[in-house]
Amino acid sequence: MPRHNQLPVTDARTLLAAACWLATACGAADDAPAVDTETSSSDGAGTTDPGLDTDGSDASSGGNPGLDSTDDTGGAVDTDTGDSGSSTGPVDLCGNGELDDGELCDDGNSDTTDACVACAPATCGDGYTWPNTEQCDDGNRTDYDGCDANCTPTTNFVFVTSTEQMPGGLGGLEGADTLCNDLAGEAGLPGDFVAWLATDQAGPTARLEGARGWKRVDGRLVADQAEQLLTGVWHPPRLDEFGETAVLGDMVFTGTAPGGMPFASTCDDWTSTVAPNTNAGQPDGGLSFWFNTNQHNCNLPGHIYCFGTDYNDPLPLLPAQGRTAFTTDAYFSSGGGIESADALCQQEADEHKLDGTYRALLAQQGASAISRFDTNGPTWVRVDGVPLVDQAEDLATPDWNAPLVVTVDGAHLARAVWTGAQTPDTPGDAMTCDDWVSVSPEQEMTHGVNVRTSALLFDSGTGGCHYSDLRLYCLEA
């Protein structure tokens, strides 16, 4: 099965020591240094009405551990020294099919899915999923982190289907569930799945009764409980069963209205292609926008969401460390220059006792928004502990892991925001209201919406510089 839930061990010495530490039959390596293998994780643009003000209910690759290494003369290179000076043996010979000193096995390959991984017996906790033996392997033997000490998943997967189908041609909930389970099986995802679809009688959360804890196939956490799915997911469910990102603009029909209730039409419970339009969402959306964005015709192709239902372990979010980011609660009006935008960010940070200097993520003529910040420092994290991106430099592209829907006081709210450019790393031009001093309705600026994690987060349309009902993205410098 695909190794979606793994933390690859990129150093052969570390992996070998870890395997010895975890295995009971390791007498040959009793003098190897103990290695702690446990890791944890914190876990179509156009002119629009920018006056969006809603709570959301209204609308490593791992290295090859068996890598042979030679010097310029073709001789073996000794690469077995570590911080302790201890040696685990000539790992440069791993994969030659012969049992050399320091090796516990050698099957003549560097395959990480068989019984011998990096010349040590495959074992739970080595970071590689062993097909037909393990269902997951996240590189540790810790319970309650999605993959337990026996390498059995304790967190349900959620994905958006890679295929499209007509909502009215699904064959009811049974046909939709069959589709979800067939696709999950093709991708090697364990467990039983149901489609996130409402019926005329009940919303989709009723289909998740008894289940708890969902994550995407890349391991990013989506939600702990079903109620959270309706109000504020940690990461939008924008990946399909193979881990590919859904195409921007693709609709995912749900039949679900704000608050999780059934929409007026569910395509006759997913059996009619001539029924009135049903409701649909965008998979890159936060709050309720992932399931409730606009309507979808019952005879036009679209995707569906599939949720696992086997597990009910709590799924706590471990807050990430980094620089703080938030969307302002107060409106910002052009007229005072970018200095006034920075002042608003700093004021809200000070009022809530946040340390540090804060600036607005705004473009200026000839300068991009991200150029105002040091992208060599720590990444940016929402005030609820969810990181926006893995590395600070990743914020430059409009492809974030999580939407910046959280205000400085921790509220999750949908907001239209001033940006001044198409992307965070695009220099501003005429769309910056003369560097935020113009209030003329004849001049325009670019704005985004904070509920999205792709292009629309920075460029969802344009509006006049006289607008006074937009907010700002604020980042710690």
* Domains observed in the chain: 1-37+63-69+77-150 (no CATH), 156-308 (3.10.100.10), 323-476 (3.10.100.10)
Please give the pLDDT value at position 219. 87
431 pLDDT exceeds 80? yes
* Amino acid 144: pLDDT: 62
Of residues 57 and 145, more confidently modeled: 145
C-alpha–C-alpha distance, residues 63 and 24, integer Å:
26
| pLDDT, average across residues 291-304 | 96
Pair 110, 67: CB distance under 8 Å: yes
Q: What percent of the chain has pLDDT over 90?
A: 71
Residue 46 has pLDDT above 60, yes or no: no
**Residue 223 pLDDT exceeds 80:** yes
- Asked if pLDDT for residue 238 goes beyond 60, the answer is yes
- Tens-place pLDDT, residues 330-382: 999 999 999 999 999 999 999 999 999 999 999 999 999 999 999 999 999 99
Provide the pLDDT for residue 11.
Answer: 37
Strand partners, 194: 307
**E strands, 309-464, in order:** 323-327, 358-360, 380-382, 414-418, 444-449, 461-464
Tell the residue number behind the tokens 């061990």, with chain if given: 9
The answer to which of 2-11, 87-96, 270-279 has the lowest mean pLDDT is: 2-11
Query: Average per-residue pLDDT in the chain?
Result: 84
- Comparing 148 with 222, the larger pLDDT belongs to 222
CA distances from 252 to 132, 141, 243, 248, 280 (A): 33, 36, 16, 11, 5
Q: In terms of pLDDT, which residue wins out, 152 or 260? A: 260
pLDDT value at residue 145: 67
Say yes or no to pLDDT of 59 above 70.
no
CA dist 28 and 36 (Å) reads 19
* pLDDT tens digits for range 153-202: 779 999 999 999 999 999 999 999 999 999 999 999 989 999 999 999 99
Assess whether pLDDT exceeds 70 at residue 43: no
Alpha carbon 294 to its chain centroid, in Å, reads: 23
Residue 143 confidence (pLDDT)? 72
Kindly tell me if the per-residue pLDDT of 34 is higher than 80: no
Q: What is the mean pLDDT of residues 320-337?
A: 97
- Mean pLDDT, residues 315-324 taken together: 92
Is the pLDDT at 7 greater than 80? The verdict is no
